[in-house]
Structure 1
Amino acid sequence: MNQVNPMAITKSRTNPPLIIEEKRIEEVLSYPILLSDRLRTALDEANYFTTDCSDVVKLSDKISDMLKAVVRLCTSSPSTLYERPIRRIVFDVTKNLERAFTLIKKCKKRSFLHRVVNIVSVSDFRKVVGFLDSSCADMKWLLSIFDGGIVLSLPPIASNDPILSWVWSYIASIYSGSVSDKVESANELASLAKDNDRNKKIIVEEGGVVPLLKLLKENSSPEGQVAAAVSLCYLANEEERVRVIVGEAGVSVIVQVLGDSPMRVQIYVAKLVALMAEHCQLAQEDFARENVIRPLVTSLSFDIFIEDMKVKVAAKQNIHTLVQINKELERKSLGSSISSSSRPGLGSPLSMHYPEGSNRGGNHRKDREYERPEVKLELKVNCAKALWMLARNSLSNSKKITETKGLLCLAKLVEKEHGELQVNCLMTIMEITTAAESNADLRRAAFKANSPAAKAVVDQLLRIMKECSDSTLLVPAIRAIGSLARTFPARETRVIGPLVEHLSNRSPEVAAEAAEALGKFVASENYLHVEHSKTIIDFNGVPPLMKMLRSHERAQLHAFILLCHLASNVGENEALEQARVLNALEGVDRALISQHPELKELIPKARYHLNVYHSGMLSRRQPY
């Protein structure tokens, strides 16, 4: 007679689900089936409560039959099998079968002392029967979710947390359901994830990321791709969950779908890229390796370069010639979408971003031309947001954007568009210029004086500074100009003038940004700091700076820094004496100096230079 090792049963009873998951699913299922067979053997040896023991074994036989049905599912379709609920439910089933086995073993005829020590009562059998009934219901529910369709009934294992059973049912449906069931299940997961972070955590912990990525990759159903992308967007608002998506090779799937999908799919995939890049630096780096910049810039620049080409040609040709050129452009665009082996024409936006022979996006290129304008706009808004998040604090992504003609595209959109698209493009430019400020190679490569893209960017930044009054646009434009301070020659006074004007802006935030930007022009690290200092004073920049000293702390800080640089660079200028800059520097609040250590060095140096040129009392003061 086969005997069960009590130590093995005890060990299995205490195993948590995480340890069981390390085993193969066949091993997880084989043990409770074997345990059910041993229950029947123990029934033959029972001498007490034989009727109750028989009822217990009947329930265990039902459970064993259902376990064997699950085994057949595992062997017939292992690739579409969702294991998570199987492991969780079988773990509980195993514990209940172990309880039943232990109880029946106590009913074996032994010595009187052994029976006294191991007292068995009817209530013990009632408890075990209740546990086995719950296990039967759990197994019936488990088999039902693999029959197809969405099951919303609650198994006993999830009676205290219905969300768990719904998540299991939806995920199982995405694995093995019909196309319509997959779409509906992905939408339901998105609805659950939208409600609260706890639901998001459950979806991720129960393995929902993998099937959603698989559904996103299936290009046979755009509706399913959209539903999967929306669900992933709701999950990707926290670093730990984004790392799970990255760990499941999600970045390569996302980049692939972004490069070759209908526009309505690309909209949500671009939004997903933006969310992942915003919340996780690891995702930023992986997207850089997978070169997500190219499809984003391509989608962003769609129609721009063809339209510009038509405008230039129209200025030189008559109407008949223009009609012929339009037909030729349409023929080339259609031909390039049919033949992926031919190189895109020079008038095509893709020719600026993809190497020869690339067909990414080619399958849907013709459809894009006939999409509604609002769909095109939404795609560009999300692509610009994705570029912004990718470029933020990332030198490598900023370089890639400049290498794909992205700067020129961004400048054109800032010029032509309004609203969210314009803001996103401007913020992307701001992040690229911030990276260029700290990297000389990027600064020289992307913002050299004779670069058309750099000239277009600077022209648009200056236009916004002159024509716009919205701080949402002014702040990034001013900050971008400040980051490019080292690239402007001394004769480029058209940049200094608008910055000085904004020192008097009604918005303290804009005025502080202008002061900070001008501070980068006159800092000692800038080779032309003396020339720029003279230009600022020539534009009458000192009086508004003195007024800013009565503003909030950030405005005060940057006003003092700029005044210190002006005094150190051109201390002999009479405008500084007339404005009583020396008195202002001597009366600076000590609390401000203690909070901002950079002032500890700048203020004494500025006082020294002002004393040399205006007080004539150098001999009476301690040298700097």
Structure 2
Amino acid sequence: MMFQEEKRIEEELTYPLLLCERVCKLVEEPVFFKFECSEVGKQTDRLSQMLRTAIRLSTSSSNLYEPPIRRILTEMTKTLDRALTLVRKCKKRSILRRVVTITRVTDFRKVLSLLESSIGDMRWLLSVYDYSDGSNVGIVLSLPPVASNDPILAWVWSFIATIQMGQLLTDKIEAANELASFAHDNDRNKKIICEEGGVVPLLKLLKEGNNSQDAQIAASTALFNLANCEDRVRSIVNENGVPIIVKILRDSAMRVQIRVSSLVARMAEYDSVAQEEFARENAIRPLVSILSFETFVDDDLKMGKQSIHSIVQMSNYNDNPPRSGSSLSVSSSEGSSRGAYYSYRKERENEKPEVKLMLKTKCAEALWMLARGSVVNSRKITETKGLLGLAKLIEKEDGELQYNCLMVIMEITAAAESNPDLRRAAFKTNSAAVKAVVEQLLRIVKESTSGSMQIAAIKSIGSLARAFSARETRVIGPLVAQLSNRNQEVATEAAVSLVKFACPDNFLHMEHSKAIIEFDGVPPLMRLLRGSERTKIHSLILICYLALHAGNSEALEQARVLNALEGADHLVARQPELKDLVLKAINHLRMYHAGIHPPRPPLSYVPQI
């Protein structure tokens, strides 16, 4: 916890109270500046009374919000030390001591001003915390002197204190909304809220606002606005926020789930540790379940059978029964679980279409961020049968939801490319889910008018290059066709993906290289050699692989590939790592053009020039 190494707040309050008593005792019999010392005594006595009230409040409250108390006590202690030093000078002493330590009226004026500020700070503090008049802790927008140069600090204190100590839920919701507003697009305010302990009360409000959607939405929105950098996301993780967020994601109403899934996406985007924690808490399962709801045409319990989706949904209730008193609350019996499932389904079906769409869109975004760069999370998505649901959403939906689902597929396939075990387990080409995914990826490549969508689909197919058999030439044709795309970024990405089919790392590189040539891929590749630097590089690499693996093709000779490679000196000079590959390709083509047909060399063979 934030203050575990600090003194207890009662101890912090005791020391300035002791200083007040010392000052009051010293001003009773001053020899010099009697009037001024009397004024100091009056102010100090007021402070001591306020401190005693604060001590009573601290002992009677189990959830006291401490940061403003500690800040005010720090400043107050400095002032009281100064006052104590000043009144000591007014006692009877020798002439020499008086000359050395000269006291002026201006010194008293300064101390009295500081004491007045401390009184103002305590008055503000008690107005925020005091229960003695029977009222609730509420938002106080006045400014204490300690925060006069930074009013945001005082308002943040007031809002956090209201969330942590307030009794009225409406006040807590208002305070959380104010924090969310303060944190929106202002990193300094975000930093202040986190440093002043705002994360824990917001998580508590999210967790305990079970009977109020407004409370949970306000808390999750504030946390979302805070979580735009690794440090602040880590502060949420360190306060055990991930289990709370996943539980709310599982149990809450759709409008709350929208905000919480956005929070999951934001946290996973900025912090890999949060990604791991969400995987550990199995956040993937509720996200996939929500995303696939109403996606499948299932006949639940018809003819005595249940669909897979229905079983998954009902198992969620048995494993994680909804909170007591909610509309989804059920008993542990099978009949009650089944009834709750249909009640849950009816509630969702009756929700507005735009709410359903937004929820699915945000869940897809959360899955995207969780899968990004994570083999573990990608594996979990495939294990929950999420691939088929994603494929169906890509087929049926459009706009942001379709794009987010496609990005999930892109991240999963990228993980599969880097992890052979995942690729073999999740992307068996005879799997219905994989067939559906590939079909939709090819459809996007061929039909989409969005360059970003095409690029994501092309990348996904390229990542699966080693999963396709030699008979799967249907994936080669659409990629070759995109080499002629007017959007050079799309054409370049097609070349990058085709390289993964034709490179020696692919066991079927010979067959794929021939297929690329058969689909008339050489002419557009030659045109791409006149493109941007990145386009030239990937096109050149692909041409070299085609020359090495299908060098006797007439298409290569007709397109004058050898001349193009021999004239690529300027590009090779800027990319020295291409030198060996280009030389091997040139040597290979020269042998064929000279009428020599040597046996196929091993992959490790490097022709000598």
Same fold (TM over 0.5): yes
Deviations 1:19-56 (A, max 9, x none): 99721111111100011111122223521112211111
Match of 1:70 in 2: 54
CA distance in 1, matches of 2:385, 2:96: 89
Map of 1:340 onto structure 2: none
Distance 1:535 1:101 in 2: 92
Amino acid across the alignment from 2:154: S
Q: 2:165, 2:456 → 1: CA distance?
A: 49
Residue 339 of structure 1 is matched in structure 2 by: none
8 A Cα contact 1:20 1:87, kept in partner = no
Distance 1:347 1:537, change over 3 A: closer
Corresponding position of 1:267: 258
Matched with 1:522 is 502
The verdict on how the C-alpha distance between 1:129 and 1:446 changes in structure 2, with shifts beyond 3 A counting, is same
The verdict on how the C-alpha distance between 1:206 and 1:538 changes in structure 2, with shifts beyond 3 A counting, is same
The answer as to whether partners of 2:584 and 2:607 remain within 8 angstroms in 1 is no
1:575-586 matches, cutoff 5 A: 575-586=555-566
Output the amino acid matched with 1:95. K
**Structure 1 residue corresponding to 2:7, chosen from 23, 30, 51:** 23
Q: CA deviation at 1:205?
A: 0.9
Q: Which secondary structure state, in structure 2, belongs to the residue aligned with residue 525 of structure 1?
A: coil
CA distance, structure 1, for counterparts of residue 262 and residue 287 of structure 2: 11
Q: Give yes or no for the alignment of 1:359 onto 2:349.
A: no
| C-alpha distance in structure 1 between counterparts of 2:32 and 2:597, whole Å | 112
Match of 1:487?
467
Listed one character per residue, the Cα deviations across residues 186-242 of structure 1 (whole Å, up to 9, x for unaligned) are 111111111411111111111111111111112122101101111111111111111
Give yes or no for contact 1:298–1:353 (8 Å, CA) kept in 2: no
1:309 is aligned to: 298
| 1:470-489 deviation line (CA, Å, top 9, x unaligned) | 11211100000000001111
Of 407-416 and 459-468, more deviation after overlay is shown by 459-468
SS of the counterpart of 1:254?
A: helix
**Which residue of 2 is the match for residue 612 of structure 1?**
591
Q: Deviations over 1:99-132 (max 9, x none)?
A: 1101001111011111111111111111000000
Opposite residue 273 of structure 1, the aligned amino acid is V
Counterpart in the other structure of 1:237: 228
Contact 2:502 2:512 (C-alpha < 8 Å) held by counterparts = yes
Match of 2:283? 292
Matching of residue 207 in structure 1 with residue 213 in structure 2: no
**Could you tell me how far 1:467 is from its partner in structure 2?**
1.8
- Give the 5 Å matches for 1:52-67: 52-67=36-51
Equivalent-residue separation in structure 2 for 1:190 and 1:174 (angstroms): 12
TM-score, length-scaled by structure 1: 0.88
Contact 1:167 1:189 in 2 (8 A): yes
For the 8 Å contact 1:56–1:100, the answer to whether it is kept is yes
On the 8 A contact 1:294/1:353 being kept in 2, the answer is no
Shifted more, 355-364 versus 492-501: the winner is 355-364
Indicate conservation of the 8 Å contact 1:52/1:125, yes or no. yes
Asked if the contact 2:289–2:313 (Cα under 8 Å) also holds between the matched residues in 1, the reply is no
Deviation string for 1:513-549 (max 9, x for gaps)? Answer: 1111111001101010000111111111000000000
Task: Say whether residues 1:461 and 2:441 are aligned partners.
Answer: yes
Distance of 1:441 and 1:19 partners within structure 2: 46
Q: Match for residue 33 of structure 2?
A: 49
1:157 to 118, 142, 146: 146
What root-mean-square deviation, in Å, do the aligned CA atoms of Structure 1 and Structure 2 show?
A: 2.3
Q: Which residue identity is paired with 2:89?
A: K
Find the counterpart in structure 2 of residue 35 from structure 1: 19
Residue 350 of structure 1 deviates from its aligned partner by 3.1
* Alpha-carbon distance change, 559 to 360 in structure 1, aligned in 2, over 3 angstroms: farther
Residue 196 in 1 paired to residue 186 in 2?
yes
Question: Which residue number corresponds to residue 506 of structure 1?
Answer: 486
Structure 1 CA distance for aligned equivalents of residues 317 and 216 of structure 2:
27
What secondary structure is seen at the aligned counterpart in 2 of 1:44?
coil
8 Å contact 1:411–1:457 — kept in the other structure? yes
What is the deviation of 1:595?
A: 4.8
Note the alpha carbon deviations across 1:255-276, whole angstroms, 9 max, x for none: 1111110111110110011111
Q: Distance in 2 between matches of 1:594 and 1:204?
A: 52
The separation in 2 between residues aligned to 1:356 and 1:607, in whole angstroms, is: 66
Q: Offset at 1:377?
A: 0.6
Distance change (3 Å), C-alpha of 1:433 and 1:598: farther
Q: Does 1:128 align with 2:111?
A: yes
Which of 262, 267, 271 aligns to 1:280? It is: 271
- How far does residue 490 in structure 1 lie from its aligned partner after superposition? 0.6
Offset of residue 359 of structure 1: 2.6
**Equivalent position SS for 2:184:** helix
Change (3 A) 1:469 1:347: closer
Q: Give the equivalent residue in structure 1 for 2:338.
A: none
SS in 2 for 1:309: coil
Deviation for aligned residue 1:293: 0.5
Tell whether 2:572 aligns with 1:593: yes
Change in 2 beyond 3 A, CA 1:71/1:102 = same
Of the candidates 561, 568, 588, which is equivalent to residue 548 of structure 2? 568
Q: What amino acid sits opposite 1:607 in the alignment? A: I
Amino acid at match of 1:348: S
Q: Deviations over 1:582-606 (max 9, x none)?
A: 111111153x435544412211111
- Is 1:253 the counterpart of 2:240? The answer is no
Aligned equivalents of 2:33, 2:313: Cα separation in 1: 83
Mind listing any 5+ residue stretches in structure 2 that lack a counterpart?
A: 131-136, 330-342, 599-605
Residue matched to 1:319: none
Tell me how many residue pairs correspond in the alignment. 575
Paired position in structure 1 for 2:601: none
Whether the 8 Å contact between 1:304 and 1:349 is mirrored in structure 2 is: no
CA 1:345 to 1:25, structure 2 compared with 1: closer, same or farther past 3 Å? farther
Task: Show CA shifts across 1:131-167 (max 9, x none).
Answer: 0000000000011112422111111111111101110
The DSSP-based 3-state class of the residue aligned with 1:78 is coil
Residue 438 of structure 1, aligned match among 379, 400, 418: 418
Give 1:117's match in structure 2, choosing from 100, 103, 109.
100
> 1:574: Cα distance to partner?
1.3
Q: 1:186 aligns with which of 152, 171, 176?
A: 176
Q: Within 5 Å, give how 1:77-88 maps onto structure 2.
A: 77-79=61-63, 81-88=64-71
Q: CA deviation at 1:345?
A: 7.0
Relative to structure 1, the CA distance from residue 494 to residue 224 in structure 2 (aligned partners, 3 Å threshold; closer, same or farther) is: same
Letter of the structure 2 residue corresponding to residue 175 of structure 1: Q
In structure 1, the partner of 2:133 is none
523 and 66 in structure 1: CA distance in 2 versus 1, 3 angstrom threshold: same
- Partner Cα separation in structure 1 for residue 309 and residue 72 of structure 2: 60
Aligned equivalents of 2:157 and 2:123: distance in 1? 14
CA contact (8 A) 2:458 2:494 kept: yes
Percent identity for Structure 1 against Structure 2: 61
User: Which stretch has the larger CA shift, 60-69 or 415-424?
Assistant: 60-69
Distance in 2 (alpha carbons) for counterparts of 1:530 and 1:63: 88
The answer as to 2:411 corresponding to 1:422 is no
**Quick one: which of 291, 309, 312 aligns to 1:350?**
312
Match of 1:385 in 2: 365
Whole-angstrom distance in 2 between the partners of 1:372 and 1:349: 25
Return 5+ residue gaps in structure 1 as ranges.
Answer: 1-17, 314-323, 333-343
SS in 1 for 2:143: coil
SS of match in other structure, 2:348: helix
Could you tell me whether the CA contact under 8 Å between 1:534 and 1:570 is conserved in 2?
Answer: yes
Contact 1:410/1:426, CA 8 A, preserved across alignment: yes
Is 2:298–2:307's contact at 8 Å kept on the other side of the alignment? Answer: no
Q: Which moved more, 1:120-129 or 1:464-473?
A: 464-473
Aligned to 1:144: 127
C-alpha deviation, 1:176, in angstroms: 1.7
Whether contact under 8 Å (1:496, 1:536) holds in the other structure is: yes
Structure 2 residue 520 is matched with structure 1 residue 540: yes
